[in-house]
Structure 1
Amino acid sequence: MISKHSNEQSGGGEGVEVVRNQPDTHPQHGLGQLTEKRIYLNSKLPSWVSVFVPRVFYVTEKAWNFYPYTITGMTTLFYPPHTHIRIETRFENNNGDNNNVFGDRPTPAESVSHLDILIDPIPDKHYKETEDLSRWVSEKTGRGPLVEGWRKDSTPIMCSYKRVQCSFEVYGFQGKTEDFIHRNIQDILLVGHRQAVAWTDEWHGMSLEDVREYERQIQEQTNSKLKSTQNNTGNY
């Protein structure tokens, strides 16, 4: 479903290009999948960030998925600054009550945000009635719609825990830019996880082989769509 989300976000010369998607092995977490993407997003940057970046600007994203643990790293290589974002994820079958899910150092309470895919607001441009979980019903599973307080009573339930770290190495703009990054990551996480639930009937029952083939097809469509619109808009 991540591949489908990437495909939806691509167009007009911007979006997500999949560079590689291949098996990988981690010494601690075992067999998993490595995905590398380029995310083109010039028009989505505020004007005070645009002054630092070239005309064709992209973020390189590498994700190591060793379910239930994943690591996502994002970097920009333009000069003068290098922006680094690291997102660790762990999935657990609970409603978000684990205060030290990563098992090393507890995150201070003031730095924790609890995101609710039902009631937390998303930007108007991302709203779709078909992805409104207060209206959603899964034909395959019989789940839905979600109602306020669903986190206390719903079964089965899973929480996606995220630890987000970012740095922007430009004096005078560091705090402002890092706040901007955190806000946008929060929006991305809310929209993406809403979609993962709303699209349940598209992925429920898939085998791992089915998932890989689905990813391959969507990635080919996405890369072709992105390159076509880039050529049409004169980015290359």
Structure 2
Amino acid sequence: MLCFPLADGSPPCPGQVHGLDTETWKDVEVVHIDIADRTQVSKEGELARNKESPHTCAYKLVTVNFRWWGLQGRMEQFIHKQEQRLFTDFNRQLFCWLDKWVDLSMDEIRCMEEETQKELDEMRQKGAVRGMAAGDE
């Protein structure tokens, strides 16, 4: 199992929010994802942030059971890696689009969702298959 607490560089969010029993929690690997660290791309240092108070802490508990002798460990590790990449990419995009949706009402957000759904339906019917492939970095 992997647990992804998404933090903005502040201390880890407190506690174990999933309500797992102690025995199960011992097997959990906590992976911290920092979407505000630009050093990997631009080598210009971290984005300015307020280290006094956290802004975002999102949790996702991922459990993978791949029961196939000889492949189990490798496949579970591969799936966890892809899940971490997907979670990181999604939250980076969400952060980048913040200005588009932060001041919208729920009705405006629902309208935006409907427009997006229509666009996706059109893309599915017309275009070639698109998206992420496993192993993309």
Q: Could you tell me the TM-score, scaled by structure 1's length?
A: 0.43
Secondary structure at the counterpart of residue 99 of structure 1: coil
Task: Determine which of 100, 113, 121 is the counterpart of 2:31.
Answer: 113
Runs of 4+ aligned residues of structure 1 deviating over 4 Å after TM superposition are 86-91
Question: Alignment RMSD, CA only?
Answer: 3.6
SS at match of 2:60: strand
More helix by share: 2
2:77 aligned partner, one-letter code: D
The partner residue of 1:97 within 5, 10, 13 is 13
Decide whether the 8 Å contact of 1:96 with 1:161 is kept in 2.
Answer: no
**What displacement does 1:89 show?**
8.7
Residue type of the alignment partner of 1:162: K
1:207 aligns with 2:105: yes
What letter matches 2:31 in structure 1? S
Check if 1:164 corresponds to 2:80: no
**Residue 180 of structure 1 aligns with which residue?**
78
**CA deviation vs aligned residue, 1:98-119 (integer Å, no higher than 9, x gap):** 2211234353387111111123
Are 1:146 and 2:64 counterparts? Answer: no
Contact 2:5 2:31 in 1 (8 A): no
Q: CA deviation at 1:120?
A: 7.9
Question: Is the 1:95–1:159 contact (alpha carbons within 8 Å) kept by the matching residues of 2?
Answer: no
Query: How many percent of aligned residue pairs carry the same amino acid?
Result: 25
Task: Label 1:88 to 1:179 Cα distance change in 2 as closer, same or farther (>3 A).
Answer: closer
Judged with a 3 Å threshold, the aligned counterparts in structure 2 of structure 1 residues 104 and 110 are, in CA distance, closer, same or farther, namely closer
CA contact 2:5–2:30 (8 Å) conserved in 1: no
What is the aligned residue count? 123
Q: Give ranges in structure 2 of 5+ residues lacking alignment.
A: 130-137
Between the aligned partners of 2:50 and 2:65, the Cα distance in structure 1 is: 32
Please list, as runs of the form range in 1=range in 2, the aligned pairs for 1:79-98 lying within 5 A after superposition. 96-98=12-14
Distance 1:154 1:198, change over 3 A: farther
Provide the rounded CA distance (Å) in 1 between the counterparts of 2:109 and 2:39.
Answer: 30
CA contact (8 A) 2:5 2:13 kept: no
Per-residue Cα deviation, 1:179-232 (whole angstroms, up to 9, x for no partner):
11111111111111111111111101111121111111101111210221249x
CA distance, structure 2, for counterparts of residue 206 and residue 222 of structure 1:
21
The residue number in structure 1 matching 2:124 is: 226
Structure ranking higher in strand proportion = 1
SS in 2 for 1:118: coil
Matched residue SS, 2:34: coil
Contact 1:88 1:163 in 2 (8 A): yes
Q: Aligned to 2:80, what secondary structure does the other structure show? A: helix
